[in-house]
Chains A and B, each alone.
Chain A
Amino acid sequence: MDDESVIKSDSSLTVEQAIANLQGEDLGLRVYAAWWIGRFRVNDPEAIAVLIAALDDEDDRTTVGGYPLRRNAARALGKLGDRRAVPALVRALECSDFYVREAAAQALEALGDASCLPRLIELLNNQVPGTLPAPEPPQLTQPFEAILEALGALGATAAIPDILPFLEHDVPRIQYAAARAMYQLTPSPEAQQYGDRLVQALSNKELQLRRTVLTDLGAIGYLPAADAIAQTPAENSLKLIALKGLLEKQLQHTTPPHLTDGAMKVMTLMDELL
């Protein structure tokens, strides 16, 4: 995006203008409008129709063949919660651009529609022709992290045999995503081993990886991780978000304003991190 388009497309954008920009000549403005519609959750049927159309855009290409507008359109559709976008997003899983497939998998997870599962499983097994790997190292063939997270969140128990090998993947983030999915897909008490794997990963030396694991633990709301979350060296902001995930999970088990012991414990830890 060039400087001029940044200046033109400031927050004074209106819904009408954003929809018009999405179909306009200026590629920078199109990409920005897609982001803007998602960011401000413009739940407008026309905006959604235009975003869905943008998933087939051919005008906006990067030097290595990526589709910036498609990526932003997919991300925006994930935020708008309209399931009419599902078929188009499933088709976007076949896109040659790694980042379009990643954005589409994340959007499908957010939309919570299980109809995408067969395609996601094929993608996990790298069985979708024409999909190029990520352009930079480690040049993953597929956005495994996003796929695994979506499979876990969407309850894809049929995918368990396909997920298990990823527990040993070379890239730690992908291992964690697999553990997170396995936790969600396995009935307790067997699920606990996957939660515990994530707790162990909190002592990883890499801050960036500890941050990833905090997100994973928050997403699954794994209560036995509470103390480890509070103690791991990372930003308190991230620990608080992870503990909030644990707390919300606890609140599902009770009728307000009753609080479980687990909820009280989590809040006591949160108090200390403020």
Chain B
Amino acid sequence: MTDHLSTLIQAVEDADSSYRLLAAVQELAAARLEGAIPTLIAALSYNNPGAAVAAVDGLIQLGEPSIPALLEQLDLHNYTARAWAIRALAGIGDPRGLVTLLGVATADFSPSVRRAAARGLGMMKWHWFPDDLLEIAQEEALEALLFVAQQDEEWVVRYAAIMGLQALARAIAATHPDWRSRIQSHLEQIAANDENWAVRARIWMAQQHLQTEATPTPAVVAKPSPLSATDWQTILEKLYDRKKQEKLVLAEGDPRRYRDLAASIAQPSDGVQV
């Protein structure tokens, strides 16, 4: 461990006020050192929203190396830390988070988690996917985003879904022009019907982008996928499970009905607001 890193970590551990903790986590995040990952992950459960925002930003900057620790965090029972981990996962766009994001974008009770997931679904690292899985994954993301853009009761979540749809339309421009037209016609409908002006404006901006991007942008030249064959197998299995469950759930009723109830029980001070 470099001296610099250990000094920064020490500052987080020694912080004796919420403001000092915030400042220390911000500095640690800004250093962009992989050795900071465990400390940044730990900061997600300190019940300090400012520090958690900074930690999430730092983890997103560090990207893929944060994923194993984040996935572990998702299995734990601290809801607040879990919500932050989902936000980081959404920001990184790692395919191992795909199925989680599909679930939370459509059904999590916290709007701040739903909006992050919706954005993440559009900005998934699609270029990492093997061809046979790509189409299934993108179709799931498309369906989830169209649902959220039209049905979510929070303007900011619908806004995030519009952004997600814009990014997805760009990603599938070459492979699925039919999906792209579908996105565009849905956007037109929503722009005419949504009561919220920010959502409408975001659609106008998306439409401008989609019109000027007649030719698809080439995939960002980036690191090759670090995922193993086992990772992809797991993702595929989870996607199939989700498909099966979707049918069951739809037969019995919309799970979103329970979300209002859950939201009314949650305290505003539970740290989920981000």
Binding site for B on A (CB under 8 A): 205, 207, 233-238, 240-241, 244, 247-248, 251, 256-259, 263-264, 267, 270-271, 274
Contact = CB atoms under 8 A, between A and B. Distances in A.
Given A233-B50, A235-B274, A259 B204 contact: yes
Nearest to B112: A237
Given A236-B112, A274-B119, A274-B156, A247 B50 contact: no
Interface stretch (B2-10, B32-40, B172-180, B194-202): B194-202
A257 B206 CA distance: 11
Contacts of B202: 267, 270
Nearest to B202: A267
B82 to A, nearest CB: 17
A235 B53 contact: yes
A274 B19 CA distance: 23
Nearest to A246: B198
Chain A, interface SS category: helix
Q: Provide the main secondary structure of the chain B interface.
A: helix
A205 B4 CA distance: 26
A233 B159 contact: no
Interface of B: 18-19, 22, 26, 49-50, 53-54, 111-112, 115-116, 118-119, 155-156, 159-160, 163, 191, 197-198, 200-202, 204-205, 207-208, 273-274
Contacts of B163: 271, 274
Nearest to A245: B198
Given A244-B156, A267-B202, 5 more contacts: A237-B112, A258-B204, A271-B163, A274-B118, A274-B163
Contacts of A251: 197, 201
Nearest to B90: A274
B204 A235 contact: no
Contacts of A235: 49, 53, 112, 273-274
25 contacts: A233-B22, A233-B26, A233-B53, A235-B274, A236-B112, A237-B156, A237-B274, A240-B156, A241-B156, A244-B155, A247-B198, A248-B198, A251-B197, A251-B201, A257-B191, A258-B204, A259-B205, A259-B208, A263-B201, A263-B205, A264-B205, A267-B202, A270-B202, A271-B119, A274-B116
